[in-house]
Amino acid sequence: MTATLRLLAAEFETALGADSVITDRQRLRTYECDGLAHHRVVPAIVVLPETAEQTATVVKACATARVPFVARGSGTGLSGGALPHAEGVLIVTSRMRRILEVDPANERAVVEPGVINLDVTRAAAPHGYYFAPDPSSQQVCSVGGNVAENSGGAHCLKYGFTTNHVLGVEVVTPDGELVWFGGTTHDAPGYDLLGAFVGSEGTLGITTKIVVRLLRAPEAVRCLLAAFPGVDEAGTAVSSIISDGVVPAAIEMMDALAIEAAEAAVQCGYPQGAGAVLIVELDGPAAEVEHTFGAVEQRCTEAGAFEIRIARDDAERALFWKGRKSAFAAVGRISPDYIVQDGVIPRTVLPAVLRKITELACGTGVRVANVFHAGDGNLHPLVLFDDAIPGEAQAAEEVSGAILDLCISHGGSITGEHGVGMDKSQYMPRMFTDDDLDTMQRLRCAFDPAGVSNPGKVFPTPRLCGEVPGRHKAPHPLQAAGLAEQF
């Protein structure tokens, strides 16, 4: 550890207490990766602040010493966003788990960033409310992580992503100042800094309090599981349900390989012989749900569903969801290694893109299981490989990249909800021009001119603030001073 980092660790121990600072190499390894486990970096120091003020103290010290820092919630991110910096500080929010206020009358709650997503709904449920963003990881992921990634989930088709459910955030800026963006009202004058912060993946500072919107729990919920011969028919059903004017709370699709994995893992008992299943859930006023449910069933039948099961109660509904919610982990039953890809396409091109993914898989011999939020065209191809077999990991990476190219060429995007992080920064130039990326960098530099907040994420070739693309005759002053490097 460098002398600067040793001094920082001592400063943190004085300010936060020794049990809030980790420098022991073995203990540091707990934090070496997030959900993207094939990338690992051991941080130099981990700190576990308990308050916003302690977080600000840590960030200010990092800023003064020009030491990079990375925020971490529960570490379930799938794009390497919380991957530590080897010469930096990892700031973990797991001791900031207080739900500070539940205010049903104003339909909002105030929470600390380490609060687990599902705990917000648990706290709001006795009042008849819930927190709508529901990533499949909601039993473990943090609200701070949800804000940073602008996370989605099965029910975001109807209710929108995290950004639609955050009214305000208290933020420690990268120079250690505590500020608020947004607040308790639904709109604020001036630039939408809250909008810029949500989804910024820890590059604009660390959120320490979040005002979330609560929604009234729906009067009725109905769910069906429809089995189709293949993904083409299921994709057609998705388009036809939505073009009917029905916006289900969720429409999720799994293909044959994903079903095989889920059956092996949790025995969800989906219809035999299905090439694809759709789970469609409707919620809202009972009369409306009743009316539209019939239309959904009809569209599924017209598109070729050979079996439709309707959940009779909550237990059966949970069983439908069990296969879907366990699908990522379940793939471990049929393949030793896999990449969870995340891309978006307009839902109208779902059948065409899924066909092309199948062609890609057949042409390369790499197996791809598809399980995804079909209603909003958010694909999650799971690209299977065995790392022990030479060349398989490389082939899987190539197929994974080719799938993103398919998404872009069909009018979509390289990520739907898992963020860019470290993993996808290399793909940013496939979607954005140099000018686009430069504009984003300028925004980032307005918050973080020294580039200390989660450096190396989101941008493919981080430029120093104020730099223009192209050849440079002399090193930037920060480079010359050995405070930053360019690569």
Q: Residue 120: what are its φ and ψ, rounded to 5°?
A: -65, -45
Residue from 54, 74, 121, 292 touching ligand FAD (CB under 6 A): that is 74
When asked if residue 375 is in the footprint of ligand FAD (CB under 6 A), the reply is no
Rounded (5°) CA angle 384-376-118 = 80
Task: Measure the CA–CA gap between 306 and 11, rounded to whole angstroms.
Answer: 66
Distance, in Å, from the CA atom of 381 to the CA atom of 213, rounded to the nearest integer, reads: 31
Q: Which stretch binds ligand FAD (CB under 6 A): 148-156, 220-228, 301-309, 479-487?
A: 148-156
Site map 403..422 versus ligand FAD, x via CB under 6 A = --------------xx----
Among 136, 335, 400, 415, binds ligand FAD (CB under 6 A): 136
Applying CB under 6 A, among 20, 21, 23, 34 the residue interacting with ligand FAD is 34
Residue 402: other Cβ atoms inside 10 A:
16
Closer CB to ligand FAD, residue 206 or residue 224? 206
Q: Does 137 contact ligand FAD by CB under 6 A?
A: yes
Query: Please, what's the b/e burial string for 89-127 (b: 16 or more CB within 10 A of its CB; e: otherwise)?
Result: bbbbbebbbebeebeeeeebbbbbbbbbbbbbbebbeeb
3-class secondary structure, 400: helix
DSSP code of 426? G
Look up residue 443 and give its two tokens.
């925004």
Instruction: For ligand FAD, give the closer residue by CB, 23 or 150.
Output: 150
Site for ligand FAD in 238-277 (CB under 6 A): none
Cβ contact 416:343 at 8 Å = yes
Choosing from 49, 68, 84, 144, the residue that interacts with ligand FAD (CB under 6 A) is 144
Minimum separation from the CB atom of position 148 to ligand FAD (A) = 3
Least Cβ distance, residue 302 to ligand FAD (angstroms): 29
Nearer to ligand FAD, 75 or 375 (CB): 75
If binding is defined by CB under 6 A, does position 146 make contact with ligand FAD? yes
Contact 251, 238 (CB under 8 A): yes
- Pattern 159-198, binding to ligand FAD, x per CB under 6 A? ----------------------------------------
Cβ neighbours, 10 Å, residue 328: 21
Tell which positions 286-345 bind ligand FAD, by CB under 6 A: 328-329
CB 446 to ligand FAD: min, Å: 17
Kindly state the tokens that stand for 480.
């010359």
State the minimum distance, in angstroms, from the CB of residue 202 to ligand FAD: 3
Binding range to ligand FAD, per CB under 6 A, among 145-153, 177-185, 233-241, 469-477? 145-153
List, as one string, the DSSP characters of 372-399: EEGGGTEE-EEEEE-TTSTTHHHHHHHH
Q: Does 72 bind ligand FAD (CB under 6 A)?
A: yes
82 belongs to the binding site for ligand FAD (CB under 6 A): yes
Identity of the residue, 289 or 374, whose beta carbon is nearer to ligand FAD in the bound complex:
374
Among positions 170, 201, 281, 392, the unique one binding ligand FAD when judged by CB under 6 A: 201
Instruction: Provide, rounded to whole angstroms, the least separation between the CB of residue 81 and ligand FAD.
Output: 3
- Nearest distance in Å: CB 277, ligand FAD: 17
What CA–CA distance (Å, rounded) separates 39 from 245?
43
Shortest CB 240 distance to ligand FAD, Å: 25
* Integer Cα distance of 205 and 176 in angstroms: 9
Of the residues 81, 88, 182, 456, which one makes contact with ligand FAD according to CB under 6 A: 81
Assess 75 for contact with ligand FAD (CB under 6 A): yes
Query: Judged by CB under 6 A, does residue 142 bind ligand FAD?
Result: yes
Q: For ligand FAD, which is the closer residue by CB, 117 or 441? A: 117
Q: Which long-range contacts (CB under 8 A, 24 or more apart) does 175-178 make?
A: 175/59, 175/60, 175/63, 175/450, 176/56, 176/57, 176/59, 176/60, 176/61, 176/62, 176/63, 176/64, 177/56, 178/52, 178/53, 178/56, 178/208
151 binds ligand FAD (CB under 6 A): yes
Tokens standing for residue 362: 């057949």
Q: Are strands 69-72 and 45-47 parallel, antiparallel or unpaired?
A: unpaired
x-or-dash string of contact with ligand FAD, 449-468, rule CB under 6 A:
-----x--------------
Go through 269-296 and write b for each residue having 16 or more CB atoms within 10 A of its CB, e for each that does not.
ebbeebbbbbbbbbbbeeeebeebbeeb
71 binds ligand FAD, rule: CB under 6 A: yes
Q: Give the whole-angstrom CA distance, residue 475 versus residue 477.
A: 6
Residues that bind ligand FAD (CB under 6 A): 34-35, 70-78, 81-82, 93, 113, 135-137, 141-142, 144-146, 148-149, 151-153, 201-202, 206-207, 328-329, 417-418, 454
